[in-house]
Structure 1
């Protein structure tokens, strides 16, 4: 029985208003709901677990248009009081100090800030670093048990992207070893009255102190790397202190966790499609095309971050009040049958494959080339060195992370014949 059969699509006319994006069935497989929403129209009001209401864009054409719509801005100051009451969960002063990164900026400020990071993530530079990335991947596999079982999150996926990121941005080993992956959970909403709020704030303070240590270290030990160049830009007043800290915050969190999650979603997709898994294992040359299809099939970036109209505006036939949040479902767009024939089938021969897993327009992910390289290396080394790789729990027992915007799992127990 397929997941689609487990969660049949209901009549589009039965959609509630707002549509709740909550619960384990939704997180384990949101695609039947997205199909239902696409059939009913491109824009729907939705409700998140935090109580935030937003307008969700679902179809491919509508999503592509929204991602390139100059009327929609990313600056949080555009949000109205209704949005701010529930969505601005990061307390002051941290919100003002850590939330002015690229994802929350509009031109010309976005253009000015983005130019500081693009050179570090060019395809040419990533290709030059590929041998080092391969060493890191092999070392992690070397540390896995000689025979299964093993957890591929704690044993591989949680470490490989951060080790690669440290190489790319110039994070020294002693500081990289101190990074706590739990700090990345500060992007997951925890409301002011939530019992988990004290832990959330502790993580936030820990991460902020860590960023201060990174800045201090780079000021004292300058090198020709991205972190050093950002610190120099601050000292030259080309960046504010808040912009510097926020950009480092974005690099540390957005540069690691989404790739960790994408490795897990890709592996789960392969376990659910054993014929494609066998095909890829037998033909590694398929990896570039396979990665693009796996990104389309189940993206770790499920939803984009907030966008806002300055005034009441029409969005594909729906009137959206100014300051309400607009979010694009990248996963729903990537399964739109009007763009991708048989979208629920994992097809490594799909061409063209113009998925939106990395967004589109001026906010297209600057680390896309790096993420692609990481995914190819990760899947390549795991399939080549762990023959017989398979899931050792039932599919329905996979615990999907409760993140609002992303997809992935914190544990992926697998078995394999031996470690080569």
Structure 2
């Protein structure tokens, strides 16, 4: 048994350990059997992550929905207690104070004030106007793939498409967009102070921080009608602090790319495992809007939410939770709850209604949801249309899922196809 593996957990509810370990390759490959047993045992469970952080995990749909809207639960890291802070592997100072005051870690009224700056940039009407350009970006990436398979759809498509879209939406100039290092996005994956990988983590952090400073300086000298320019102007007008500006750009660059990259891979893997549905989607592109929401529900790239905290000792669905302990919602477990979704473990591309929680709920509902849905529609349509015979080129069990704590996806997706149309 390696450090990345955990002892097997039995199939029955009574066999669940205390706390439940959320670690190991089997768990990352398929967390759903464990989530099913946890839902059956109750809505809230004490869990432990690879870093040693203990948390309270919410697993059922109704419990998750309520927790996401619970005004008692705050997102600001200042609420975390010493037990959480000792093992949470949060960013070192000064970077934590400089880059972690973005929307995901803010509560009202700060959250309300900051969120209004990004809402219009990701509004559905604006996303709709960008669709022709998004299709051009997707086609250009497919044009660069080999004439025939095999190919790695992460390296050749999924790792680049979301960032190129993001650059267009927020106003990141091409010369700066070309210099963005995807590895910088890994700074959101916790690396503890004693971890041998900590120096690499900190180097990435410094690189990203320097990049953000370049973006701000460029936009200050080249104002335009785009989101980045408006954020810089808000800082110059005293409406945002420097830390808020840098943190919001940090969130845009990281949260606006990697989750969509991962969602493209989870969606494709789900379709490869259901070849009849893949063929149907290729033949009936009108199904794409419903199919995208079903693929988001079936296996979401946002597996777990980020931390939430009670300011005082509280009760959560009958479970006593100490103040400052981390509370995390399992979006994937909620989206497979049979009490909310009929046949939840089946992929039904025509499922309706489909009130999944892949983008969260409440005040922290993902502001980029409309853009993410559009990216997934265009990515799937382009790949299925232009790569006839698209299929997985390795055995399913050889897929290597990323070890990220909160997300699902794969860094490589080897595929085959008949030709590039």
Q: Which category describes the TM-score, using the shorter chain as reference length? A: over 0.9
Is 1:132 the counterpart of 2:141 in the alignment? no
**Structure 1: which 4+ aligned runs deviate by more than 4 Å?**
none
What is the number of residues matched between the two proteins? 414
Which residue in the other structure is 1:317 paired with?
A: 318
Counterpart CA distance in 2 for 1:350 and 1:208 is 43
Is 1:39 the counterpart of 2:40 in the alignment? yes
Which residue in the other structure is 1:335 paired with?
A: 336
Q: Measured at CA, do residues 347 and 418 of structure 1 come closer, stay the same or move farther in structure 2, by a change above 3 Å?
A: same
Shift of residue 351, structure 1, vs aligned partner: 1.2
Which residue in the other structure is 2:3 paired with?
A: none
Return 5+ residue gaps in structure 2 as ranges: 1-7
Counterpart CA distance in 2 for 1:8 and 1:105 is 36
Are the counterparts in 2 of residues 89 and 192 from structure 1 also a CA contact under 8 Å? Answer: no
Shift of residue 40, structure 1, vs aligned partner: 0.3
Counterpart CA distance in 1 for 2:73 and 2:117 is 24
SS in 1 for 2:63: helix
What does the per-residue CA deviation read over 1:52-77, in whole Å, with 9 as the maximum and x for residues that have no partner? 00000000000000000000000000
Which residue in the other structure is 2:65 paired with?
A: 64
Is 1:304 the counterpart of 2:302 in the alignment? no
Which residue in the other structure is 2:364 paired with?
A: 363
Which residue in the other structure is 2:49 paired with?
A: 48
Which residue in the other structure is 2:30 paired with?
A: 29
Shift of residue 212, structure 1, vs aligned partner: 0.2
Is 1:227 the counterpart of 2:228 in the alignment? yes
Shift of residue 89, structure 1, vs aligned partner: 2.5
* Aligned pairs (5 A) from 1:166-181: 166-181=167-182
Which residue in the other structure is 1:89 paired with?
A: 90
Counterpart CA distance in 1 for 2:10 and 2:20 is 14
Are the counterparts in 2 of residues 190 and 196 from structure 1 also a CA contact under 8 Å? Answer: yes
SS in 1 for 2:74: coil
Which residue in the other structure is 1:264 paired with?
A: 265
Counterpart CA distance in 2 for 1:8 and 1:305 is 25
Which residue in the other structure is 1:160 paired with?
A: 161
Which residue in the other structure is 2:207 paired with?
A: 206
Is 1:143 the counterpart of 2:138 in the alignment? no
Shift of residue 8, structure 1, vs aligned partner: 9.5
Shift of residue 349, structure 1, vs aligned partner: 1.6
Counterpart CA distance in 2 for 1:8 and 1:380 is 39
Are the counterparts in 1 of residues 55 and 327 from structure 2 also a CA contact under 8 Å? Answer: yes
Which residue in the other structure is 1:279 paired with?
A: 280
Are the counterparts in 2 of residues 134 and 377 from structure 1 also a CA contact under 8 Å? Answer: yes
Are the counterparts in 2 of residues 9 and 32 from structure 1 also a CA contact under 8 Å? Answer: no
Shift of residue 9, structure 1, vs aligned partner: 6.7
SS in 2 for 1:117: helix
Aligned-residue Cα RMSD (Å) equals 0.9
SS in 2 for 1:165: helix
TM-score by length of 1: 0.98
What does the per-residue CA deviation read over 1:189-216, in whole Å, with 9 as the maximum and x for residues that have no partner? 1111111010000000000000000000
Counterpart CA distance in 2 for 1:196 and 1:26 is 22
Counterpart CA distance in 2 for 1:84 and 1:120 is 34
Are the counterparts in 1 of residues 89 and 191 from structure 2 also a CA contact under 8 Å? Answer: no
Are the counterparts in 1 of residues 307 and 328 from structure 2 also a CA contact under 8 Å? Answer: yes
What does the per-residue CA deviation read over 1:273-302, in whole Å, with 9 as the maximum and x for residues that have no partner? 111011101101000000000000000000
Which residue in the other structure is 1:4 paired with?
A: none
Are the counterparts in 1 of residues 399 and 413 from structure 2 also a CA contact under 8 Å? Answer: yes
Are the counterparts in 1 of residues 102 and 244 from structure 2 also a CA contact under 8 Å? Answer: yes
Counterpart CA distance in 1 for 2:185 and 2:296 is 22
Return 5+ residue gaps in structure 1 as ranges: 1-6
TM-score by length of 2: 0.98
Is 1:195 the counterpart of 2:191 in the alignment? no
Which residue in the other structure is 1:377 paired with?
A: 378
Which residue in the other structure is 2:403 paired with?
A: 402
Counterpart CA distance in 2 for 1:225 and 1:156 is 25
Are the counterparts in 1 of residues 235 and 241 from structure 2 also a CA contact under 8 Å? Answer: yes
Counterpart CA distance in 2 for 1:339 and 1:110 is 30
SS in 1 for 2:73: coil
Shift of residue 350, structure 1, vs aligned partner: 1.1
Counterpart CA distance in 1 for 2:78 and 2:89 is 11
Counterpart CA distance in 2 for 1:95 and 1:395 is 39
* Aligned pairs (5 A) from 1:384-395: 384-395=385-396
